Structure 1
């Protein structure tokens, strides 16, 4: 269920003005990206929540550009989560029935995958890519280096950085 983001009651509030002027546009833009009215509404809501909870609310000269940037990042996160879930469900479909997991175990694993995804989210893109190519696709350091157009030593540094981040966030 989506909670509606209510616009602040003070009409002089700049966030209120941005919400009133751009919410409909953002919702339509997200519908075009997501093909789902419910998901679009959720991400429009999340976009404005990010704006409201921003530690330094910027003076927005171009609110649509700002909203688009935030919404694009949320769309990327949405599709990345869907992809992660689909890989897990595809893997699970090949598990024999005798070793199949209960719905609770499946949920625990999906939640763990989401936490790992969130941990990796703060990494630079090449570091995250190297980690995923190594651990999800099982590529060798040489294959990862070729795919990312870097040296094998750089791949090793990327993997160390990703693993250190995982350890830091788990501890």
Structure 2
């Protein structure tokens, strides 16, 4: 089956079609995808400059995306770029605080603080396991995407290539890249929501 046929099948299965053939993606999902994709590159650079760790950056970016999906009215966000950076910065600060608490309790703290340390460690382990499971689910979804959707999404999300650079690499238009990324993210979101139910 050609890439075009596979991708068309992917589009139909992930977006849904009405009887007359018109697509009807979830408007809120599309808005989330567009908002996130618009600010992804600058947000990634911002977070990476703070964490200096690709792994922590990806965890924070995933959490930003998940929290963005929970917002019922995106139009209420006056300055989306600043809002997303603030959200990412707050997540980074929380991560730093947890790390500082762990280090503090590893020094010469009295035995009565051991219970607090155990509770914090359990919460941190649970969070790490949750993020590892999310990452594994994303990786599986990327493998399930028809070519070249998975590769396009990886180039954009992980490698940080611009839409124009990806379009040049595939010999396609910039709008094709934007649609491919939006549809791949929408498919991933819908599939992950199905796992939660």
TM-score by length of 2: 0.41
Identify, as 1 or 2, the structure richer in helix.
2
Relative contact order (alpha carbons < 8 A, sep ≥ 6): 1 or 2 greater? 2
**Please, what TM-score do these two structures have when normalized by structure 1?**
0.47
